[in-house]
Amino acid sequence: MSEQEPASDLPESDEEWRERLTDEEYRILREKGTEARFSGEHVDRDEQGVYTCAACGTVLFDSGTKFDAACGWPSFYAAEDSAVTYEEDTRHGMTRVEVKCATCDGHLGHVFKDGPEPTGERFCINSVALDFEPAE
CA distance 62 to 29: 20
- Residue 22 has a CB neighbour count (10 Å cut-off) of 14
Cα torsion for 98, 43, 49, 3, to the nearest 10°? Answer: -80
Q: Which of 56, 101, 104, 124 is catalytic?
A: 124
CA distance 34 to 49: 24
Q: Is 124 a catalytic residue?
A: yes
Beta strands 84-89 and 96-101, pairing class: antiparallel
Strand order in the sheet with 66-67: 66-67, 75-76, 122-125, 107-112, 96-101, 84-89
Residues 56, 6 contacting (CB under 8 angstroms): no
Indicate which residues carry an active-site annotation.
124
